[in-house]
Amino acid sequence: MSGLKLFRYVAWAAVAVLAVVSGALVYKQTVGNDNSGALIEPLAAIGGPFELVNGTGETVTDKTFAGKPTVLFFGFTYCPDVCPTTLSELQGWMEGLGEDANKLNYAFVTVDPERDTPDVMRDYVWAFDKRITPLTGSREQIDAMIKTYRVYAKKVPLDDGDYTMDHSAAVYLMNADNKFVGTIAHGEAEETALQKLQKLIASSPATS
Protein backbone atom coordinates (compact mmCIF):
# COMPACT_ATOMS: atom_id res chain seq x y z
CA MET A 1 0.00 0.00 0.00
CA SER A 2 1.38 3.42 -0.93
CA GLY A 3 2.05 6.04 1.71
CA LEU A 4 -0.66 8.32 0.29
CA LYS A 5 -3.29 5.55 0.35
CA LEU A 6 -2.34 4.62 3.91
CA PHE A 7 -2.55 8.28 4.93
CA ARG A 8 -6.00 8.64 3.39
CA TYR A 9 -7.25 5.49 5.14
CA VAL A 10 -6.03 6.87 8.46
CA ALA A 11 -7.60 10.27 7.70
CA TRP A 12 -10.97 8.79 6.84
CA ALA A 13 -10.80 6.62 9.95
CA ALA A 14 -10.37 9.82 11.95
CA VAL A 15 -13.42 11.29 10.21
CA ALA A 16 -15.42 8.19 11.11
CA VAL A 17 -14.37 8.41 14.74
CA LEU A 18 -15.35 12.08 14.83
CA ALA A 19 -18.75 11.23 13.34
CA VAL A 20 -19.34 8.59 16.01
CA VAL A 21 -18.35 10.99 18.79
CA SER A 22 -20.52 13.77 17.36
CA GLY A 23 -23.41 11.34 17.02
CA ALA A 24 -23.07 10.34 20.65
CA LEU A 25 -23.06 13.97 21.72
CA VAL A 26 -26.10 14.72 19.62
CA TYR A 27 -27.92 11.71 21.07
CA LYS A 28 -27.37 13.09 24.55
CA GLN A 29 -28.90 16.34 23.37
CA THR A 30 -32.13 14.80 22.08
CA VAL A 31 -35.24 13.31 23.55
CA GLY A 32 -34.38 9.63 23.45
CA ASN A 33 -37.79 7.96 23.41
CA ASP A 34 -39.66 9.58 20.54
CA ASN A 35 -37.09 9.60 17.71
CA SER A 36 -38.04 13.21 16.99
CA GLY A 37 -34.58 14.70 17.28
CA ALA A 38 -36.02 17.37 19.58
CA LEU A 39 -33.32 19.77 20.71
CA ILE A 40 -32.74 20.19 24.43
CA GLU A 41 -29.81 21.53 26.44
CA PRO A 42 -26.71 22.56 24.47
CA LEU A 43 -23.18 21.25 24.96
CA ALA A 44 -20.40 23.68 25.80
CA ALA A 45 -17.66 21.46 24.31
CA ILE A 46 -18.31 22.49 20.69
CA GLY A 47 -18.38 26.08 19.49
CA GLY A 48 -17.27 29.43 20.84
CA PRO A 49 -16.01 32.86 19.81
CA PHE A 50 -14.45 33.37 16.38
CA GLU A 51 -13.33 36.22 14.13
CA LEU A 52 -13.22 35.79 10.34
CA VAL A 53 -14.08 37.80 7.23
CA ASN A 54 -16.96 37.41 4.82
CA GLY A 55 -17.02 37.47 1.02
CA THR A 56 -16.67 41.24 0.90
CA GLY A 57 -13.79 41.36 3.39
CA GLU A 58 -15.88 42.56 6.34
CA THR A 59 -15.12 41.20 9.79
CA VAL A 60 -17.60 38.63 11.07
CA THR A 61 -17.62 37.26 14.61
CA ASP A 62 -19.87 34.96 16.59
CA LYS A 63 -21.60 38.11 17.84
CA THR A 64 -22.58 38.97 14.24
CA PHE A 65 -24.91 35.95 14.31
CA ALA A 66 -26.28 36.64 17.80
CA GLY A 67 -30.03 36.47 18.26
CA LYS A 68 -30.77 33.78 15.66
CA PRO A 69 -29.74 30.12 15.46
CA THR A 70 -26.99 29.36 12.97
CA VAL A 71 -26.43 26.56 10.46
CA LEU A 72 -22.68 26.05 9.86
CA PHE A 73 -20.80 23.94 7.37
CA PHE A 74 -17.02 23.57 6.97
CA GLY A 75 -15.42 22.80 3.61
CA PHE A 76 -13.51 24.37 0.71
CA THR A 77 -14.22 25.60 -2.81
CA TYR A 78 -12.00 23.01 -4.51
CA CYS A 79 -14.04 20.24 -2.88
CA PRO A 80 -15.11 17.84 -5.64
CA ASP A 81 -18.26 16.36 -4.12
CA VAL A 82 -19.24 16.80 -0.47
CA CYS A 83 -19.22 20.60 -0.35
CA PRO A 84 -21.22 21.39 -3.51
CA THR A 85 -23.65 18.60 -2.65
CA THR A 86 -24.17 19.94 0.88
CA LEU A 87 -24.55 23.52 -0.30
CA SER A 88 -27.11 22.38 -2.84
CA GLU A 89 -28.96 20.47 -0.13
CA LEU A 90 -28.82 23.52 2.13
CA GLN A 91 -30.32 25.61 -0.64
CA GLY A 92 -33.14 23.05 -0.90
CA TRP A 93 -33.73 23.08 2.86
CA MET A 94 -33.99 26.86 2.80
CA GLU A 95 -36.58 26.65 0.06
CA GLY A 96 -38.44 24.00 2.03
CA LEU A 97 -38.57 26.23 5.11
CA GLY A 98 -40.19 29.04 3.16
CA GLU A 99 -40.36 32.31 5.10
CA ASP A 100 -39.03 30.55 8.20
CA ALA A 101 -35.67 30.22 6.45
CA ASN A 102 -35.03 33.88 7.33
CA LYS A 103 -35.15 32.97 11.02
CA LEU A 104 -31.76 31.26 10.72
CA ASN A 105 -28.20 32.35 9.95
CA TYR A 106 -26.23 30.28 7.42
CA ALA A 107 -22.47 30.14 6.98
CA PHE A 108 -19.95 28.17 4.95
CA VAL A 109 -16.49 28.25 6.56
CA THR A 110 -13.44 27.32 4.52
CA VAL A 111 -10.79 24.95 5.87
CA ASP A 112 -8.49 26.04 3.01
CA PRO A 113 -7.92 29.79 3.46
CA GLU A 114 -4.75 29.80 1.37
CA ARG A 115 -6.84 29.30 -1.79
CA ASP A 116 -10.23 30.44 -0.55
CA THR A 117 -9.87 34.20 -0.49
CA PRO A 118 -12.94 36.37 0.24
CA ASP A 119 -13.77 36.93 -3.43
CA VAL A 120 -13.34 33.22 -4.29
CA MET A 121 -15.61 32.28 -1.39
CA ARG A 122 -18.18 34.91 -2.35
CA ASP A 123 -18.45 33.77 -5.95
CA TYR A 124 -18.62 30.10 -4.97
CA VAL A 125 -21.09 30.30 -2.09
CA TRP A 126 -23.40 32.94 -3.54
CA ALA A 127 -23.85 30.82 -6.64
CA PHE A 128 -26.03 28.67 -4.35
CA ASP A 129 -27.77 31.31 -2.20
CA LYS A 130 -26.78 34.82 -1.13
CA ARG A 131 -28.22 34.23 2.33
CA ILE A 132 -25.31 31.88 3.04
CA THR A 133 -22.39 33.83 4.51
CA PRO A 134 -19.00 32.78 3.08
CA LEU A 135 -16.31 32.91 5.77
CA THR A 136 -12.53 32.82 5.48
CA GLY A 137 -9.57 34.42 7.21
CA SER A 138 -5.93 33.86 8.04
CA ARG A 139 -4.61 30.35 8.58
CA GLU A 140 -4.40 31.12 12.30
CA GLN A 141 -8.01 32.34 12.46
CA ILE A 142 -9.32 29.30 10.59
CA ASP A 143 -7.25 26.89 12.71
CA ALA A 144 -8.60 28.52 15.87
CA MET A 145 -12.20 28.02 14.73
CA ILE A 146 -11.51 24.46 13.59
CA LYS A 147 -10.20 23.69 17.09
CA THR A 148 -13.05 25.44 18.87
CA TYR A 149 -15.71 23.66 16.81
CA ARG A 150 -13.98 20.26 16.96
CA VAL A 151 -13.76 20.07 13.18
CA TYR A 152 -11.54 17.52 11.46
CA ALA A 153 -9.52 19.06 8.61
CA LYS A 154 -6.31 17.78 7.04
CA LYS A 155 -4.33 18.75 3.95
CA VAL A 156 -3.69 15.73 1.71
CA PRO A 157 -0.91 15.97 -0.94
CA LEU A 158 -1.76 14.73 -4.43
CA ASP A 159 0.54 12.95 -6.87
CA ASP A 160 0.61 15.96 -9.22
CA GLY A 161 2.01 18.22 -6.50
CA ASP A 162 -1.34 19.85 -5.70
CA TYR A 163 -3.39 19.03 -2.61
CA THR A 164 -6.93 18.42 -1.43
CA MET A 165 -8.55 18.64 2.01
CA ASP A 166 -10.15 15.91 4.08
CA HIS A 167 -12.67 17.42 6.47
CA SER A 168 -15.75 16.86 8.60
CA ALA A 169 -18.90 16.61 6.50
CA ALA A 170 -21.63 17.24 9.09
CA VAL A 171 -23.66 20.44 9.18
CA TYR A 172 -23.47 22.06 12.62
CA LEU A 173 -26.58 23.42 14.32
CA MET A 174 -25.95 26.23 16.81
CA ASN A 175 -28.64 27.90 18.90
CA ALA A 176 -29.14 31.65 19.22
CA ASP A 177 -26.45 31.77 21.93
CA ASN A 178 -23.96 30.03 19.60
CA LYS A 179 -24.13 26.79 21.56
CA PHE A 180 -23.92 23.47 19.73
CA VAL A 181 -27.22 21.54 19.78
CA GLY A 182 -26.86 18.96 17.00
CA THR A 183 -25.85 18.10 13.45
CA ILE A 184 -27.29 17.17 10.10
CA ALA A 185 -25.30 14.28 8.66
CA HIS A 186 -23.99 14.26 5.11
CA GLY A 187 -26.65 12.65 2.93
CA GLU A 188 -29.35 12.78 5.62
CA ALA A 189 -32.92 12.57 4.35
CA GLU A 190 -34.43 15.95 3.47
CA GLU A 191 -37.48 15.34 5.66
CA THR A 192 -35.31 14.66 8.70
CA ALA A 193 -33.07 17.65 7.97
CA LEU A 194 -36.09 19.96 7.71
CA GLN A 195 -37.47 18.64 11.00
CA LYS A 196 -34.18 19.43 12.72
CA LEU A 197 -34.10 22.94 11.26
CA GLN A 198 -37.70 23.57 12.29
CA LYS A 199 -36.86 22.45 15.83
CA LEU A 200 -33.81 24.70 15.78
CA ILE A 201 -36.03 27.65 14.86
CA ALA A 202 -38.56 26.74 17.55
CA SER A 203 -35.80 26.49 20.16
CA SER A 204 -35.18 30.25 19.97
CA PRO A 205 -37.86 32.48 21.55
CA ALA A 206 -36.68 35.34 19.33
CA THR A 207 -37.43 33.44 16.12
CA SER A 208 -40.34 31.19 17.07
98 CB-contact burial (10 Å; exposed 0-12 / middle 13-18 / buried 19+): exposed
Please write the tens of the pLDDT for every residue from 143-192: 999 999 999 999 999 999 999 999 999 999 999 999 999 999 999 999 99
pTM over 0.85: no
Q: Which amino acid is at 168?
A: S
Phi, then psi, of 87 in degrees rounded to 5: -65, -35
The tally of CA atoms less than 13 A away on the side-chain side of residue 173 is 30
Tell me the per-residue pLDDT of 57-102, one tens digit each, with 9 for 90 and over: 999 999 999 999 999 999 999 999 999 999 999 999 999 999 999 9
Determine the residue type at 146: I
What was the pLDDT predicted at 208?
Answer: 54
- Measuring CA to CA, which residue among 206, 207, 205, 201 is closest to residue 71? 201
